[in-house]
Structure 1
Amino acid sequence: MSFEHLDLASLAQWRDGEQPFVLLDIRDPLSFTQGRIPGSRHLDNASAGAILEETPRDTPLVVVCYHGHSSQQAAAWLAGQGFEKVYSLDGGFTQYQLTHGDDVESGS
């Protein structure tokens, strides 16, 4: 099982479209609370079980980290859990915030 890369332009198209997908942010809890892509869920050891249980295996998953590196390992792990369509966001949240700074959600 493997994952694919997703660029910011494709993510913007997905967010504007009808196709459901799940955004999983693997950054630390404080960073996630301070700012995230709207609609993201925080994925960590505590939430992984519930997310795996609740999410249909054919739902596309997009994994977000700081710069697009750690998300690749998480995406590979999720693909190994049986998810059919897993993506790592190229550039991560840092690049997203630089290009879409007005579209950042904060709070718990």
Structure 2
Amino acid sequence: MTAATFQHLDIPTLAEWLDGDAPLTLVDIRDPASFAAGHIPGCRHLDNDSVPALLAEAPREIPLVVVCYHGHSSQQAAAWLAGQGFTDVYSLDGGFTDWQHRLPERVEA
């Protein structure tokens, strides 16, 4: 049995996907106050309380992108979500901090 895996995703690629209206699930695992202060448009906040809803609602066959502060803790979350049956899971390299730095006009509060 092989371990469920995830892939790394860079910011320009995610921006292209969003511009092209590619079907994907985008989740942000930062704390609620940070998420409320700013997040990538179309992102849903994911924490221990909202995981069951995500597992029940999100299609397993479309890309799932996990965002955190700097792209570190999202890797663990992405690996865990891959283990829950999501087949195309990504961790955003650089996280929200890098997204906000590169694309400040694409931050929603």
Deviation for aligned residue 1:18: 3.5
Deviation for aligned residue 1:16: 1.1
Moved over 2 A (4+): none
Identity of aligned residues (%): 65
Structure 1 unaligned blocks of 5 or more = none
Find the aligned partners of 1:102 and 1:54 in 2 and give their Cα distance. Answer: 29
Question: Of residues 68, 74, 78 in structure 1, which corresponds to 2:71?
Answer: 68
Alignment correspondent of 1:93: 96
Structure 2 unaligned blocks of 5 or more = none
One-letter amino acid of the structure 2 residue matched with residue 30 of structure 1: A
Alignment correspondent of 2:28: 25
Find the aligned partners of 1:38 and 1:56 in 2 and give their Cα distance. Answer: 19
Q: Does 1:105 align with 2:108?
A: yes
One-letter amino acid of the structure 2 residue matched with residue 49 of structure 1: P
TM-score (norm 2): 0.95
Provide the aligned C-alpha RMSD in A: 0.6
Find the aligned partners of 1:105 and 1:9 in 2 and give their Cα distance. Answer: 18
Deviations 1:55-100 (A, max 9, x none): 1110210000000000000000000000000000000000000000
